[in-house]
Each structure stands twice: as C-alpha cells, then as structure tokens.
Chains A and B, each alone.
Chain A
Amino acid sequence: MVPVMSADVDSTTTTASRRAPVGPMVPARYRVAGRQPEAADAFTIDLLPIDEPIDEPEPGQFTMLYAFGVGEVPISVSGCPHREGGVLRHTIRAVGATTRALCGLEAGSVVGVRGPFGTGWGVSAARGSDVLIVGGGIGLAPLRPVVRDVLADREQFGNVAVLIGARTPADLLFVAETEQWRSRPDAHVAVTVDAAPRGWEGNVGLVTMLLDRLPITTDRSTVFLCGPEVMIRVVARELVDAGTDAERILVSLERNMHCAIRQCGHCQLGPLFICADGPVVTWAAAEPLLEVRRW
C-alpha cells in the first residue's frame, strides 16, 4: 500500500486557517473530490482547494502533483476549474510509483499542487481558422480542455475535427464525452485504435489514417497535437507535407520536469526548458530539436 496522506483536513477548514502558498515550490493542499476510472491504467481525479487555490490554469499548462510521502510528478490539466464547476481536473496514467499513488487516491485524500506551469495551447489565437485536434493515448488529456473550449465557442472557429488514437478500445479516454462530441453536427470526430477485438465497429489503424478527407483546409488550419513523441512526428510531418504551416501546428512535449521553474535543468531540450518554454511549442520550434540523434 502506497502511503498517501489521508483525509486529515476537515472540509470545513475556515478561511482563517488557510495557508497561502509562499512560492512556486510550495504546494497548495487540494482535496480529492472525485475519482473516475478512464481506462485500465488511467484515472481522472477532481481536486478542490483547501488552501488558497492556484491560479486558473490555461489549457495545455501542467501542475506538479505531490502524492505526499511518495513523490511529485508533472501532470497536464485535463479540466480547468472555470469549465468544471470549480474543480481542477487531471487525468493520470499509472505507470510508476507516484502516478500509481495518485491514481489510487480515494475521495477525501489530500494532495499537494504546484503551478500552473508552462505554456498553454493559446486556443483563442485559433479563432477564425479551421481547427484540427489530434490526441494519442494519454495525450488526449491535455487536449480535452481545448475541445471543450472550441465547442463552447463553436461559432468562433471554422471547421473543427477531432482525431483520437489509442492502443485498444479499452485504453480510450473520455469515452462518454467523446460520444457527445461525436453527436454534434458541427464537429468531425473520429477514433482509431491499434488493435481491437472482433465486434469493435470503429477504425483500426494508425491515427494518420484519419488525416485523409478531413473537412478542414490544411493550409489555413490550426493544429493541436499531443501524444507519444513518435506519433507527434509522424502526424506533424504528414500535415506539413499536406501544406500546413509548421508555425500553426502546436505540439505538447513531455520531458523530465522536476522543479517546473526553469532551475534544475532536467527538462532541458536544446535551448528550451520544457517546464517553462513548453510544454506547448510550435512544430517549427520542436522539429529541429527532436531530430537530434542521441544526446
């Protein structure tokens, strides 16, 4: 059993007892308000502040989530409080000790939150253009707020397409919500998996197979792309070959963020500190850095 701080703070904590964070390295305490399984190894946890809340994150930014006694990890925000009834939402894949601890938190547990950190997607800059959102695996999590923002202000954008890839149908995130998106006549939503049992009626194949025949014009669209780095490269290159400006392809990079404040250098990628200069960067900026063979 991984030791995680239990619900030892009364939900009626008074304002007087609240402790404002004193700097970016000091976590604010948040209580787990809810936890939903998304896939076999992924969970969404909703957090409500005990201390003074962190600033409202922008879609694409991340926080450092601290499972007390276990460790701290960078997790992209999958739901911003202003669109989630006040809760701060993260969707986490359990792949190591800390993420397993976070995924195992019961309602009422307390975690530490630092942030928000890094660059966001800048959704409002895409107004007036067609929008293509491509999420692979857990990479759909930081894109969920983008989809919600775009669909909430739908008339502000041109044609909208959302493409989702996953390993198997059981690994798909936000399944019910995806169906809601898919039911909208003003958005093209397609899902594909790498492998599926018989009976699966969706697509089977790489997410690039969904790029053909999209109802968007590649030369005047804004692309939001997140997923495994190889998938990012394959999709971005195909889009550039089809005429999309690399400056209009936004990608979210994952590196080994520790301090999140440009101090420790763990997340350095060439001249960029991904914790501060990223995680969202243009493909024009990312491509030459990702092409470096071996560090």
Chain B
Amino acid sequence: MKTTSIRDLLAEQPVLRDLEPADIDLMAGCSHNEVFAAGTSLAREREVANRFFVVREGHVALELHAPTEPLLIETIGAGDLVGWSWLFPPYRWAYDVEAIERTRVIVIEAACLRDKCDADPAFGYRVMKRFAHVVIDRLHTTQYRLLDLYGAGDVR
C-alpha cells in the first residue's frame, strides 16, 4: 500500500500553497497525522494553544461556550486551517473545536514551528504572511456575514 509522507500531505494543502518547498520541509518536521471521531474535541476554549490543524478530510465546528448550549460560529472543512491562537501570547484557544464527523487532520506543533520561525526570520515572515492571509479572509467573510446579506431587499 502506498503511503504519503507528511511532507507531501502538507504540500497538497491549498492553504499552504504559497510556501516554498523548503518551508514545507521545515513545517513537516513539526507535523503528524491524527484522526478524530465525530463528536470528539480537538481543542477547548482557554486551553493552551500548543498546536493547530489543517483539515484533510471531514469537518470541524468552531464553537463558543454558552450557559445553555454551545454557539456554533463556523465550520471548517477539508483543505482549511484551524487555529491561530498559537501565534501570539498568551497562546490560548478562543473557542472550542469539535469534529462534526470523522475528521483527519495534520497536527502542527506550535512551539516547534515558532522556534523555527524565530531561528529563520525569512521563513517566519513567509509563514506569517500565509497565516495573515487566512486570518484576513476569515475576517472578511465574518464581516459579510454580519451584514445579514440574505435579509429582505425589495419590500414590495
């Protein structure tokens, strides 16, 4: 059976497409695969954000804890990135992350990647640019959602 290396799996991810091959090599050294069954937790709000995820298959839900029941913020599917709280202190998750279905992810160990970014600022800059791109995309779509785009238009 053919197995794909973690490096090749990372290189296939659209969310990392702007990174150079050498960057992917560096990132691969901090990465491994994990599988989460439906309903299991990938992260909890306020826990230490010592890792983040690239979803390979399946979907996860980003949820905010609330007194009655968790509030569903957004879902993240294959090819997308989950988590950026690892980038800056205090390195704590801002929301819960739960697998909606059986979900395969690449786990990237945050401290390992941060150390490599600090050791090689050019690499760190490229990683930061890539993540800033994702964060800005997510911010824009959140702003659009706040507009309630599907609300009433013509009121005749």
Residues of chain A lying within 8 A (CB to CB) of residue B2: none
Which residues of A are at the interface with B, using a C-beta cutoff of 8 A?
71, 73, 93, 95-99, 136-138, 165-167, 171, 192, 194-198, 200-206, 208-209, 212-213, 227-231, 234, 254, 256
Interface residues of B (CB under 8 A from A): 14, 59, 61, 63, 69-75, 77-80, 100-101, 141, 144-145, 147-156
Highest count of chain B CB atoms <10 Å: which of A73, A98, A194, A231: A194
In the bound assembly, the distance between CA atoms of A207 and B69 in angstroms comes to 25
Give the distance to chain A from B151, nearest Cβ to Cβ, in Å: 7
The docked-state distance in angstroms from the alpha carbon of A195 to that of B151 is 13
Chain B residue numbers with a CB within 8 Å of A203 are: 59, 75, 77
State which of B70, B71, B141 has its C-beta within 8 Å of the C-beta of A205. B141
Are A228 and B59 closer than 8 Å at their CB atoms?
A: no
**Which residue on A lies nearest to B155, using beta carbons?**
A96
**How long is the Cα–Cα vector from A185 to B118 in the complex, in angstroms?**
48
Alpha-carbon gap, A171 to B75, bound state (A): 18
B156:A99 contact, CB within 8 angstroms:
yes
A212/B80 in contact, CB under 8 A = yes
Minimum CB distance partner of A95 in chain B: B152
Instruction: Verify B150–A205 contact, CB threshold 8 A.
Output: no
| Assembly CA distance A209 to B78 (angstroms) | 11
Indicate whether A96 sits within 8 Å of B156 (C-beta atoms), given known contacts A204-B75, A228-B150. Answer: yes
Cα separation A205 to B75 with both chains bound (whole Å): 7
| Cβ-Cβ contact count across A and B, 8 Å cutoff | 86
Q: Is the CB of B79 within 8 A of A212?
A: yes
Quick one: given A198-B69, A203-B59, are A213 and B101 in contact (CB under 8 Å)?
A: no
Ordered by A's residue number, 23 sampled pairs between the chains whose C-beta atoms are within 8 Å are A73-B156, A95-B154, A96-B155, A136-B149, A136-B150, A137-B149, A137-B150, A165-B150, A167-B148, A167-B151, A171-B150, A194-B149, A195-B72, A198-B69, A201-B101, A202-B75, A203-B77, A204-B75, A205-B75, A228-B150, A228-B153, A230-B144, A231-B149
Q: How far is the CA of A99 from the CA of B155 in the complex (A)?
A: 8
In the bound complex, CA of A254 to CA of B79 (Å): 34
Q: Please give, as numbers and ranges, the residues of chain A lying within 8 Å of B69 by CB-CB distance.
A: 198
CA distance A224 to B125 in the complex (A): 39
Q: Tell me if A254 and B153 are in contact (CB < 8 A).
A: yes
Cα distance A223–B59 in the bound complex, in angstroms: 26
Name the distance in Å between B52's Cβ and chain A's nearest Cβ.
Answer: 18
Expressed in whole angstroms, the Cα–Cα distance for A137 and B145 within the complex equals: 13
B78 close to A208 (CB less than 8 A) = no
Chain B, Cβ-Cβ closest to A202: B75
A99 / chain B contacts, CB cutoff of 8 Å:
156
Which residues from chain B contact A96 at a C-beta distance below 8 Å? 154-156
Closest CB of chain A to B150's CB: distance in Å? 4
Q: Given the interface contacts A98-B156, A201-B101, A203-B75, does A234 sit within 8 Å of B148 by beta carbon?
A: no
Q: Are A200 and B149 in contact (CB-based, < 8 A)?
A: no
- Whether B63 contacts A198 by the Cβ 8 Å rule is yes
Q: Which residues of B contact A167 (CB under 8 A)?
A: 148, 150-151
- Inter-subunit contact B100/A201 (CB<8 Å): yes
Give, as a whole number of angstroms, the nearest-CB distance from A205 to chain B.
5
